């Protein structure tokens, strides 16, 4: 048995802004079968504390970065949790990173340094009767934990997982003392990044192993196009860097038991779900594929490119239903597209139940991301027989088999890939989708292939467990 402390800023079902939360929430159960006991350390946001009314304190102090703190221990939703209850840092409205006006909390450096500091303290001294054999840090919010461990002289193994390299956790250098960070680490081979502290770089440099959420993204991070200025660090770590694909919760995303949709098996049940979605979204009937998008509206996700390519899909008899929110400029542009094109329906915001109905009812799910560390929506699409159309990048390239002539002849295609990530290439991919959809036997074969594809956590959990055993042998 290996004991692992997983340190993160969000976790399903307690707090979520993106795929990070899904991974952190899914790993403990997935790893239990691998004889890994994982506990999760989270900030004491209001929703987290509300979900743990019977949590018990296992440590407390009068002052940590400006106020009193307690470390609470409790369980909820099948998760064993440690929660850093620090009201001066986390007891506030808004989200985990942004205030109610959508601006970064000005003390985010201190809020997440405190989380990392507590991870190092648990690693060094334990919490109650529990002490980890390894600390697993997720993204920049936990990136300072390895340097806090090193500064304390604690030789405890650590893994740093990059879910998105674009967020580097930049902190002004005059904050070193306030955050109790060692001055010797503020140098180019340490956590210094163009004159600032980078919490993510600290994790990349001082973590024992570095992982990211797909093999292709791991390779991409070693180059300047995707490395966000840290590609040299990735190259320097060499064999210490690996990519392990994310999985999805196959119980939550199961077309046979999903409470949000009628149970179905493609293609007959798919037709019923499609008809229901067309009615709900107010879309016209058409001969082409019904496409869906469930996404954050941002440049990363390539949804500006989809706006340019959209007329091609509509001209071929296709329709599009979009659910998402984000960049106000993109929100307005998509509203305008829905007004101008009768085959387009847009819902701004997020609705978990509607997302399930859309993925169940769509013929295809579009993921035209400029970069995508792993991606989850294409996995949901595969599970529901909703053919993914994806950019050939990151985890999208690793999880979707392009319907090229060789894959079609071999009977293994599960979707459509396109490259480069341009509006023109996306338009061509949508043409290919329409051609495939026009051949029902071929399209249904692709759907069924996708529904049989491995999208759960089994293989990935085994890979994480093997990595843990490499650096922290079982007791």
- List binding-site positions for ADP-alpha-D-glucose: 16
Q: Where are the beta strands (DSSP E) in 337-380?
A: 344-348, 364-367
Residue ranges for the binding site?
16
- Classify 135 as helix, strand or coil: strand
Maximum separation of any 2 CA atoms in the chain, in Å: 69
By the 8 A CB rule, do 350 and 95 touch? no
- Classify 190 as helix, strand or coil: coil
Rounded CA-CA distance 293/398 in Å is: 20
Closest CA to 88 of 112, 111, 116, 71: 111
Chain mean position to CA 294: 14
54 phi and psi, to 5 degrees?
-105, 15
- Classify 176 as helix, strand or coil: coil
Rounded CA-CA distance 239/241 in Å is: 5
Closest CA to 120 of 161, 155, 96, 169: 155
Listed in sequence order, the residues at least 6 apart from 378 whose beta carbon sits closer than 8 Å to its beta carbon are 365, 367, 388, 390, 396, 399, 400, 415
By the 8 A CB rule, do 261 and 231 touch? no
- Total count of residues recorded for the chain: 475
How many other CB atoms are there within 10 angstroms of residue 386's CB atom?
Answer: 31
Closest CA to 439 of 300, 335, 287, 336: 287
Can you tell me which residue has the tokens 């509300």? 50
């Amino acid at each position: 048995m290996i004991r692992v402390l997983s340190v993160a800023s969000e976790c399903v079902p307690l707090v979520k802004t993106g795929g990070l939360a899904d991974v952190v929430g899914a790993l403990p159960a997935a790893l239990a079968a691998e004889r890994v006991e994982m506990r999760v350390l989270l900030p004491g946001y209001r929703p987290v504390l509300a979900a743990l009314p019977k949590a018990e304190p296992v440590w407390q102090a009068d002052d940590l970065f400006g106020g009193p703190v307690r470390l609470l221990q409790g369980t909820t939703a099948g998760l064993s949790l440690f929660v850093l209850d620090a009201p001066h840092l986390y007891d506030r409205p808004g989200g985990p990173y942004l205030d109610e006006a959508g601006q970064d909390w000005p003390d985010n450096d201190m809020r997440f340094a405190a989380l990392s500091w507590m991870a190092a303290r648990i690693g060094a001294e334990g919490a109650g009767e529990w002490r980890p054999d390894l600390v697993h840090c997720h993204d920049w919010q936990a990136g300072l934990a390895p340097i806090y461990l090193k500064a304390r002289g604690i030789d405890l193994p650590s893994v740093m997982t990059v879910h998105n390299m674009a967020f580097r956790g930049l902190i002004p250098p005059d904050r070193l003392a306030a955050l109790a960070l060692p001055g010797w680490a503020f140098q180019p081979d340490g956590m210094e990044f163009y004159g600032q502290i980078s919490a993510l770089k600290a994790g990349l440099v001082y973590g024992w192993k570095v992982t990211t959420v797909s093999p292709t993204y791991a390779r991409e991070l070693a180059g300047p196009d995707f490395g966000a200025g840290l590609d040299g660090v990735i190259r320097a770590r060499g064999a210490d860097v690996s990519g392990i694909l994310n999985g999805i919760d196959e119980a939550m995303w199961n077309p046979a038991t999903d409470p949000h949709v009628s149970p179905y098996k493609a293609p007959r049940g798919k037709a019923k779900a499609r008809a229901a979605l067309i009615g709900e979204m107010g879309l016209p009937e058409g001969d082409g594929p019904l496409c869906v998008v469930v996404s954050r509206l941002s440049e990363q996700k390539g949804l500006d490119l989809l706006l340019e390519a959209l007329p091609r899909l509509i001209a071929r008899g296709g329709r599009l239903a979009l659910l998402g929110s984000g960049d106000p400029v993109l929100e307005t542009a998509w509203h305008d597209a829905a007004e101008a094109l009768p085959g387009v329906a847009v819902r701004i915001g997020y609705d978990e139940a509607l997302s399930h109905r859309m993925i169940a009812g769509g013929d295809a799910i579009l993921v035209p991301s400029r970069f995508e560390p792993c991606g989850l929506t294409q996995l949901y699409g595969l599970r529901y027989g909703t053919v993914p159309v994806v950019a050939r990048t990151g985890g999208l390239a690793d999880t979707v088999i392009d319907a090229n002539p060789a894959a079609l002849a071999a009977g293994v295609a599960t979707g459509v890939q396109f490259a480069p990530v341009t509006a023109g290439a996306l338009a061509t991919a949508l043409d290919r989708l329409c051609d495939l959809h026009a051949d029902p036997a071929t399209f249904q074969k692709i759907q069924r292939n996708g529904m049989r594809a491995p999208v759960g956590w089994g293989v990935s959990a085994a890979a994480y467990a093997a990595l843990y055993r490499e650096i922290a042998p079982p007791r």
